[in-house]
Structure 1
C-alpha cells in the first residue's frame, strides 16, 4: 500500500478521526489547566505536532484531497427552487415537506447519472432550495443539463369528454363552465404531415399518472420515434377500469406531459391493458431522454434561480491571479515581519506556516470545497493571524521597556494580549457563522474558510508561538530580544480633534448615502437585480476582441436592454471580454459575437480528462462563461444579505455589551455602521456595483473594524482600572499606546489586500477594493469615532466611566470566584 493510500485510509476512518480528535481535545484542555511551564511546553508541542500530522495526512495527495469549486476548475452550477404543488380541487397551495425535497434531490441525481454528467454535488439549502454543482463540465453541456433539470416529466392519462368537440372551444375561451372538466388546446401534426389545432375537454381527475409506470423505453416504428410504456399491476387495473366502458373507435384518452397534451388517440379496442406507446418524438435520442425522465418524474416543478457556467480556462486564469497576488502580498508581509521583529518575527512566520497547514488540512479533512471567495478568506485570515502576532509583540516591547526579564515580559505580553485577541476573533467568528447561515451559497466558501482560518490563527498566535518561545528560552537559544521600533511613543490629543472628526465623518457619511440614493438600482449588480454576465476568456498568446469592436457588432441586435461591455487585460493570464445583459439576450449575443469575429469561431478537439484521448468532440478555443440570476432570486438574495448584515451587527452589539460596558458597545456599534456605510457608499459612488461577494466583504470590514476597536477599548479599560487621572487623558493615552499596533497591522493587511485588488483580476478586484476602502476607514474610525462616542455618551448621561469599568470588573471577579 502506498503512503498516500495509507494516509487517505487513516483520515477517512471515522473511529480514527474520533479518537484523534478526542485525544487532541484532552491535550488542549490539559494545556490550559496545568500551571507548570515545562508541562505546558511539552503538552503544547505534542498538540501542535499531532494537529499538523493529522492535517498533513489529510492533505495526501493534494490533487485528490483538495476539492476545487467550479470557479476554480470550471464547470456548471445551478440554484434550483422547488415549487409547491396546487390541489386541483381547491386550488390551494400544498406546502413543501422534507419528503418533497428528498424526492426532488433523488430524481435529479438519477436523471443526471443517466445523462452521464460525471462528478456532481447536490445539497439542500433552506426550505425550498437545492444547490447543484458539476465541476469540470464543459460549457456546451450546460444547455442540455438545464433542459433535463426543468423537465418535470409528469405523465397523466385523462378521459376525453365525449362532447369535447362541441364544448371544448367555448370552455377554453371562458364562455362555458363544465364542472369537473378543463379545456386544453392540442397542437400537432397529422399523418400527412399537416399541422392541426384542436380543443379537448378533459376530466380533472387523473386516471393514470407517473407512479403507475413500471418501465419506459425508446423505440422506432418506421420513421416514427416512440416511447413504449409498461404499467404496473395497479396501473394496468386502472387502465382496464378506465377503458372497459368506452366505445371502441370513438372514445379517446389524452396523454399529458407536464400539463400539455402531447397525444389524444382514439381507443381502438376495449379494455386496454398494461402496454401503450407515446408517439411524436423527433429522434430516437429524444425518445430515450423522455423515457428516462418518465422513469424519474419530478413530483414538484423546479425553477432555476441562478446558473453559473465557468470555463476551465477562466478558472485557471482566476487561480493564477489569486495565487500570484496572494504570494506577492504575503511575501511582502513576511519580509516586513522578519525585518521589524527579527527573531520574534521568525517565530511568527513559523506559526503562520503551521496556520496554513491547519487551514488546508481542515479543508481537506472535512471535504470543504475551495472557491474563489474562499481563497480570499484564507488570505484575510492569515492577515488577521499577523495582526494577533503584532499585538503580542507590541505588548512584549512595552514589557521589555519597563525593565522586565525576557521570560517575564513574554509571559506578561501573552497574558495581557489574550483578551483582546479572543474578543476580536470571536466577533469575527460570529459574523462568519451568520454569513454561512443566512447568505447565499456563492459566499458560503468565504464563510467556511474564514471560520477555519480564524480558529487556526487563534491557535497559532496564542499557542504555537508561545510553545516556540518556551523552547527557545529553555534551551538557551534565545537570551535577548531586539525589536525594531519605527513608531515610537506618541502623545497626541486624538479626542481633542473629535469635533473635526465628527464633521468629516458626517460629510463622508452623507456622500456615501447620497451616492447610493443617486445610483439606486444601478448600484446593484446582477446578483441582486437579475440578469446575465457573459465572459469570453482569450488565451494569453491570442488577440482578444476590443470593447469598441464588440459594441459595433452588437449595435443592430434587437435586445431587451442595452448590453454593457468591458474588456480587461489580466497580467500573465490573457484577456477577458465581459458583457452584462438581459438573460433572454445571452444566447443571441454570444452567437452574434462568434459570427462576427473569427477568433471566437476557432475550435479544438476535446480530450478525455482521465485518459487524455480524443473524444471526437470539439470545443471553442475561446471559452464563454455565464453567470445568470433570475430577478426573483436576486430580490431574495438582497433580502437575505440585508438580514445577514443586520444580524451580524446585532450580534456584535450584544457581544460587546456583555464583554464591555454599554458605552463601549455603543461606540463599537457606531464605528461599525460608520465603516460599513462608508465602504459601500464610496465604492458605489466611484462606479462599483454591489454583488453577493460584497456581503462577505462588508462583514469582513465589520470584523476588522471591531477587531481594531476592541484592542483600543481593551487598553482603555486597562488604563481606567490601573491608573488615576482625567478620563479623557487616560483614553488618549490608551489610543497612543495602541497606535503602533494599529498602524502596523493596518499597513500590512492593506498592502496584501491592495496587491490582491491590483493583480487579482476582475473576479477579486471588486471584493478586494471594498475591503481596502473598509480597512482605511476602519483604521480611522477606531481612533476618531469609536472612542469619542464612548466619551460623549458617558458624559452625556452623567456617568463615571471609571466607576462603570471598576464595577464591571469587580462583578466579573465575584462571579469567577463563586
Structure 2
C-alpha cells in the first residue's frame, strides 16, 4: 500500500497534465493547420476574364479537397504531442515506474520534435559561411531642407485652385479616399517622424528593394544612430553590384517644368540662377525654393552646348547642370505612382511606362494643362528627374493625366532597375553612396570554413566522449548519450528560431561540447563523494543530482549573462556565437539535470547499473593552496606587467580593422608559385601598404594563402596594389569554352520551366513584356492570371521576326490618343469617350486569341549553345560559379556588346531554382548566331581569366570601428556588473562577487598580454611560433567575444569552490584559511576535470578550426588555463583578504549550502 500511495496522490495531477497536453495538441494543430487551410486552392479570376473560365477554375478548386500540407501538419503535431504521451505511459508501466510517465513523454517529445525540425527545416548559414556581404550604410545628412514644402505656383491663382479642388471632391473624392492616403502628406510627415520611426520606414523600404520576394534571407536592421546594416547571404561579387545600386538609390521621381528663355515668366528666375555661386544649387525667392540646378543625362541631351538649345545650362567644376522650376505648387512625384512597367519608345528603344493613381492623375493633369503650347508656338518641356538627375524632357503638346513614359534609357537592365525602384517607392531617407563598412566572403571560402568546422566538431565530440567513457565507464556512456541529445536539441532550436550559423557560432558549438560534459563531471564527482560516505547507489544518485544541480545552475547563469550580452551588443558577425552559447547552456542544463537523470534512474531500477565504478586519477589531497597566495599573486602581477608593456608597445598595431578601420583581403597563390611568409611580407613592405599598419597572417601551412590587413580602407585600391605586387603569382579564375554550335530545338527544353514566369529563363531575371509572355505560354494555367489590359492601350501583333529567331522587339503599343506629347504616350480627352473602355474590354480577348493561335516557338531556335567550364583545383578555391553569378557575367558581356536585350538560358541538370551551389560546368543557350555567340563568350572568358581570386575582402570605416570599440567596452562592463550582482545575490555577500571579478580581470589581462606578445614571439622565434601555430594576433570583435567567454566560463570553477566553501563553513561565523583549503582540495578533481574537457575542445578548435577562428581559439586556450589557475590562487586569497578586512575578521554568512 505504501508503494501505491504516491501513485494515488499523483493521479489527479497526472490527469490535469494529460488534459493540458491534450489542449496543447488541439491548439498546436490549429496553429499549424490554419495557415495551410487558409490558402485558397483556386487561382484568382483574371481581370475581365470570361465567366466560363472563372467557373471552371472554381470547380477545379472544389475537387481538390483538403490541403495536403494541412493534413501533414496535423499528423506531425499528433506525432510530436500525442505519441510521446502514449509511449511515455507505456514505458512507465512496463518499467514499473508509474511516476515517470510524464518524464518519459517530455524526453521523447523534445527529442522527437528536435529531430523533426532538423529533418524538415533548413539550417541557415550566415554570410561568412554561405558567402555574401555585410554592408553598413550611413544616412546622408543634407544641408537645411532643400526639399522644401511646395510653394504656390504663379500660373494658378487661389480661385482656380479652389475650383479645381471642388471639382476633385465632386468627381473623384471617393475614389481618392479608397485608393490611398495622400502620399505627399505622408512624405511631408517624414520630417516630423522621430528617429526610430524614420529608421523603421527606411528599413521597410530597403527590404522591398533588396528582397521583395523574401527569398534571399536578407537581414536589414538599425546599426547605430544613423546607420543601417544590410547582410546579404548567398551572393558573389558579380551579382552584388546591382543590389548595391538599388540600396543607395533614393528613388525620388519628380516631374518639373524645365526653365526656358522663350517664356518671360522664367527670365527673372533664370537671372537669379545664373548669378548663384557654383557650389549652390537652390534658387529661392522670399525664402521659398522656386528652382533648382540638377545634373542631366548627357547621353540623352548631348553635351552642354548641345543641350543649351533646349535647356538652360551651366557648367560647374563637376558636371553640367540644367535648371528646373519647382514653383508649380503641385509637387508631382513618384509617391503618386500606381505602377511602372517596361516598355519601348516610338523608335523601339527601351523605356519605362508609368501610371498615376487618382491623386497623381489630378495633379499631373493640372501641371500639363497649365503649360500648354503658347500662341507663338513655343512649347514647355516636362522634365523627368530621378534623384535630382534629369533623365528626359519631352515637349508638352497636350494635357496628360494618368500616364507617361520615361525614355533615354541605355538598355533593358536599366529599364528593369528603374522599374524596380519606382515600384518599390522612394526611400524616406537617403543613404550615402559608399558604405562605411563592407565585408565580403566568397561561397567557396565559406564552404571550406564549414568543412573545417565540421572536422573540429567531430574530433571534439570523439575525444570528449572517449575520455568520459574511459574515465567514468558506464556513467560515461550515459554522458555520451546526453551529449548527442544536447547537439540535436541545439540544432533543432537553431532551425526553429531561424537563427543563422556563423563562423563564431560554429566555434560556440564546438566549445559547447566541452562545456556540456562539465555538468556531468560535477554530478559524477558528487555521486562519488556520496558513495564514499557509504550511501546506497540509488541514494547516491539522488543526492548527487540534487546537490550538484544548484551548483550547475549557478555556474551556467554567469555564462548565460555573457551569452545574452554578446547577443544584444555584438554585431551579427559575432552574434551567432552568443546564440549558440545561450542555446548550448540551456540545453546542457536540460540534458544533464533532466535527461541523464532519467537514464540513471532507469538503469538503476532495471539493474543495468549495479555499481558506479569510476577511475580516479586525482585522489584525496591536502595542499596548502592559500599558503602560496603571496607567491602566486606576485607571479601573476609580473606576467600581467609584461603583457601590459607589450600592449602599449604595439599600440595601434594591436588592434584589427574592427577597431581602427581599414581593409582585409585574402590572396591565393598558384600551387606552382608558392611563396614563403617572409618573402610575401618583404614584398608587401615595399608597397604603400607597408606604412599603413600592415598585418599578414598565413592561412593554412602550404604557403599559398595569406590574409592582408591594413588601415587603408579602400578595398579596391588594396586589391589593385596586391595585384600589381604579385602579378602572375596570384591564382586567377579560369573559364574554358566548349565548342559553340548551332542550337538544336528541344536540346534544353526539359531543363527550362516554360510553364513558369518568363523571368525564370530571361537572363536578367525580370518579368518580360506581355508579348513575350504570350509567345512562350500557350495557355494560362491554374494559379496564373491574365494581366489586365492597360488603360487606353491594346496589344498589337508582334513585330515580324526572322525564321527561327525571337521577335526583334516587343509588340507595338497602339495608343488611342488624339495628340500625344512628343516622346511620351499620353491620355487625352478621348478617354472620356469610352474608347478606352472598349480597348480594355477587348484586350483579354485579343490576348486569348493570340495565345491560342500563335505556335509555341523555341526562343533559341536559330541561336547557339555552348558549355562553359570553370576550372577547379584541389583546394576548391575556384570550384565553379553559381547560377546567378554566371547570369550576371553573361548579362554584362551582352551589355558591353550592345546586345542587352538578347535572351539566354543557363542550365545544369543538377541545378535547382534558388540554389547557391557553385558548379564547374554550365550549359548556355543564347538567341544569337554561333559566330556572334562565340564573340560574347570569348569576351566573358577574356575578362574573367584576368581576375585574381580574392576569396575574402572587407572594409570597416572609422566611425563603425569607434562604435565597435565602445560596444566591446560596454559589453565587458555589463558582464562584470551582472556577475557581481548575481554572485552577491546567490552567496549573500558582496565580497564573493568582488573576489570572483578580481579573478576574471586577472584572466582577461593575462590573455590580453599573451595576444600582445604573440607579435614579438613570431618575430623572435619564427620556426617555433610556426610549430605552435602562433600568429601575429590582433584584437578584433571575435577576440572580444573570446574575452567575454573567458569572463563567463572562468567563473564556473570559482562558483563550484565558493559553493563548497559555503557548505564546509556551514554555520561557522568565521571564514578561515583552513576552510578555504579544505574546500579547494575537495573540489580539486572536478576543477581539473572540467577544465580538461573544455580545454580538449578548445585545443581541437585551435588546431583544426581554421584561420577564421584561430585567434579566438588561442585566446580561449590562454584564458581557460589562466582561469583554472586564478580560481585557486587568485579568487580564494582575495576572498580571504576581503573577509578579514571588511568583515572584521569574521564572515557572518549563515546561508545553507545547496
TM-score, normalised to structure 1, is: 0.86
Partner of 1:287: 415
Task: Say whether residues 1:140 and 2:238 are aligned partners.
Answer: yes
Q: Taking structure 1 as reference, are residues 277 and 9 closer, same or farther at Cα in structure 2, changes over 3 Å only?
A: closer
Out of 269-278 and 453-462, give the one that drifted further.
269-278
Picking from 311, 314, 326, the partner of 2:445 is 314
Task: Say whether residues 1:602 and 2:734 are aligned partners.
Answer: yes
The SS at the match of 1:108 is helix
Partner of 1:180: 288
Contact 1:709 1:786 in 2 (8 A): yes
Partners in 1 of 2:243 and 2:1122 — Cα distance? Answer: 45
Partner of 1:398: 529
Partners in 2 of 1:420 and 1:21 — Cα distance? Answer: 35
Task: Say whether residues 1:683 and 2:977 are aligned partners.
Answer: no
Q: How much does 1:756 deviate?
A: 0.9
Q: Taking structure 1 as reference, are residues 724 and 11 closer, same or farther at Cα in structure 2, changes over 3 Å only?
A: farther
Q: How much does 1:300 deviate?
A: 2.2
Q: How much does 1:105 deviate?
A: 4.2
Picking from 346, 349, 356, the partner of 1:231 is 356
Q: How much does 1:306 deviate?
A: 3.9
Partners in 2 of 1:8 and 1:274 — Cα distance? Answer: 44
Contact 2:392 2:408 in 1 (8 A): no
Task: Say whether residues 1:759 and 2:1086 are aligned partners.
Answer: no
Q: Taking structure 1 as reference, are residues 314 and 168 closer, same or farther at Cα in structure 2, changes over 3 Å only?
A: same
Q: How much does 1:658 deviate?
A: 0.6
Picking from 83, 97, 113, the partner of 1:54 is 113
Partners in 1 of 2:196 and 2:733 — Cα distance? Answer: 47
Q: Taking structure 1 as reference, are residues 432 and 219 closer, same or farther at Cα in structure 2, changes over 3 Å only?
A: same
Out of 303-312 and 320-329, give the one that drifted further.
303-312
Q: How much does 1:148 deviate?
A: 1.8
Contact 1:593 1:600 in 2 (8 A): no
The SS at the match of 2:535 is coil
Partner of 1:120: 217
Picking from 475, 495, 503, the partner of 2:626 is 495
Contact 2:324 2:383 in 1 (8 A): no
Partner of 1:643: 970
Partners in 2 of 1:80 and 1:382 — Cα distance? Answer: 38
Q: How does 1:512-531 map to 2 (within 5 A)?
A: 512-531=643-662
Partners in 1 of 2:1002 and 2:1045 — Cα distance? Answer: 14
Picking from 952, 974, 978, the partner of 1:625 is 952
Contact 1:183 1:200 in 2 (8 A): yes
Contact 1:104 1:300 in 2 (8 A): yes
Q: How much does 1:731 deviate?
A: 0.7
Partner of 1:442: 573
Q: How much does 1:711 deviate?
A: 0.5
The SS at the match of 1:153 is coil
Task: Say whether residues 1:330 and 2:391 are aligned partners.
Answer: no
Contact 1:314 1:537 in 2 (8 A): no
The SS at the match of 1:492 is coil
Task: Say whether residues 1:16 and 2:80 are aligned partners.
Answer: no
The SS at the match of 2:1066 is helix
Q: How much does 1:355 deviate?
A: 1.2
Partner of 1:815: none
Q: Taking structure 1 as reference, are residues 8 and 274 closer, same or farther at Cα in structure 2, changes over 3 Å only?
A: closer
Q: Taking structure 1 as reference, are residues 584 and 698 closer, same or farther at Cα in structure 2, changes over 3 Å only?
A: closer
The SS at the match of 2:594 is helix
Q: Taking structure 1 as reference, are residues 693 and 11 closer, same or farther at Cα in structure 2, changes over 3 Å only?
A: farther
Q: How much does 1:409 deviate?
A: 2.3
Partner of 2:130: 73
- 1:362-396 CA-partner distances (Å, limit 9, x unpaired): 22233222222111111222211111111122222
- 1:55-81 CA-partner distances (Å, limit 9, x unpaired): 1111215xx532222222223344455
Q: Taking structure 1 as reference, are residues 292 and 375 closer, same or farther at Cα in structure 2, changes over 3 Å only?
A: same
The SS at the match of 2:1119 is helix
Q: Taking structure 1 as reference, are residues 567 and 511 closer, same or farther at Cα in structure 2, changes over 3 Å only?
A: closer
Partner of 2:268: 163
Out of 591-600 and 455-464, give the one that drifted further.
591-600
The SS at the match of 1:686 is helix
Q: Taking structure 1 as reference, are residues 518 and 315 closer, same or farther at Cα in structure 2, changes over 3 Å only?
A: same
The SS at the match of 2:1083 is helix
Contact 2:368 2:399 in 1 (8 A): yes
Q: How does 1:504-515 map to 2 (within 5 A)?
A: 504-515=635-646
Q: How much does 1:291 deviate?
A: 2.6
Q: Taking structure 1 as reference, are residues 649 and 219 closer, same or farther at Cα in structure 2, changes over 3 Å only?
A: farther
Contact 1:8 1:60 in 2 (8 A): no
Task: Say whether residues 1:207 and 2:207 are aligned partners.
Answer: no
Partner of 2:696: 566
Partners in 1 of 2:1078 and 2:379 — Cα distance? Answer: 99
- 1:176-229 CA-partner distances (Å, limit 9, x unpaired): 964323642535538784345345364377721111223333535548654444
Q: How does 1:339-418 map to 2 (within 5 A)?
A: 339-418=470-549
Partners in 2 of 1:510 and 1:246 — Cα distance? Answer: 80
Contact 1:167 1:201 in 2 (8 A): no
Partner of 1:189: 298
Q: Taking structure 1 as reference, are residues 170 and 563 closer, same or farther at Cα in structure 2, changes over 3 Å only?
A: farther
CA RMSD of aligned residues (A): 4.0
Contact 1:515 1:681 in 2 (8 A): yes
Picking from 997, 1014, 1019, the partner of 1:669 is 997
Q: How much does 1:561 deviate?
A: 7.0
Q: Taking structure 1 as reference, are residues 489 and 358 closer, same or farther at Cα in structure 2, changes over 3 Å only?
A: same
- 1:588-617 CA-partner distances (Å, limit 9, x unpaired): 443565572263142316464417772548
- 1:289-308 CA-partner distances (Å, limit 9, x unpaired): 12321222322223545433
Partners in 1 of 2:552 and 2:500 — Cα distance? Answer: 28
The SS at the match of 1:527 is helix
Partner of 1:792: 1137
Partner of 1:470: 601
Q: Taking structure 1 as reference, are residues 274 and 534 closer, same or farther at Cα in structure 2, changes over 3 Å only?
A: same
Larger gyration radius, structure 1 or structure 2: 2
Q: Taking structure 1 as reference, are residues 584 and 430 closer, same or farther at Cα in structure 2, changes over 3 Å only?
A: closer
Contact 1:7 1:57 in 2 (8 A): no
The SS at the match of 1:478 is coil
- 1:329-377 CA-partner distances (Å, limit 9, x unpaired): 3322222222221122122112111211211222223322222211111
Contact 2:551 2:1059 in 1 (8 A): yes
Task: Say whether residues 1:265 and 2:393 are aligned partners.
Answer: yes
Q: How much does 1:456 deviate?
A: 0.9
Partners in 2 of 1:725 and 1:174 — Cα distance? Answer: 78
Contact 2:138 2:227 in 1 (8 A): yes
Q: How much does 1:715 deviate?
A: 0.5
Partners in 2 of 1:792 and 1:18 — Cα distance? Answer: 59
Q: How much does 1:669 deviate?
A: 1.9
Partners in 1 of 2:1004 and 2:355 — Cα distance? Answer: 62
Out of 227-236 and 544-553, give the one that drifted further.
544-553
Q: Taking structure 1 as reference, are residues 344 and 744 closer, same or farther at Cα in structure 2, changes over 3 Å only?
A: same
Partners in 2 of 1:696 and 1:9 — Cα distance? Answer: 43
Q: How much does 1:414 deviate?
A: 1.8
The SS at the match of 2:619 is coil
Q: Taking structure 1 as reference, are residues 190 and 301 closer, same or farther at Cα in structure 2, changes over 3 Å only?
A: closer
Partner of 2:7: none
Partners in 1 of 2:338 and 2:367 — Cα distance? Answer: 18
Task: Say whether residues 1:696 and 2:1041 are aligned partners.
Answer: yes
Task: Say whether residues 1:45 and 2:107 are aligned partners.
Answer: no
Contact 2:555 2:1052 in 1 (8 A): yes
Task: Say whether residues 1:453 and 2:584 are aligned partners.
Answer: yes
Structure 2: any 5+ residue segments left out of the alignment? 1-35, 37-66, 150-187, 260-265, 306-319, 736-869, 871-879, 884-910, 914-918, 925-939, 1016-1032
Q: Considering fraction of residues, name the structure with more strand.
A: 1
Contact 1:70 1:310 in 2 (8 A): yes
Q: Taking structure 1 as reference, are residues 22 and 457 closer, same or farther at Cα in structure 2, changes over 3 Å only?
A: farther
Q: Taking structure 1 as reference, are residues 337 and 9 closer, same or farther at Cα in structure 2, changes over 3 Å only?
A: farther
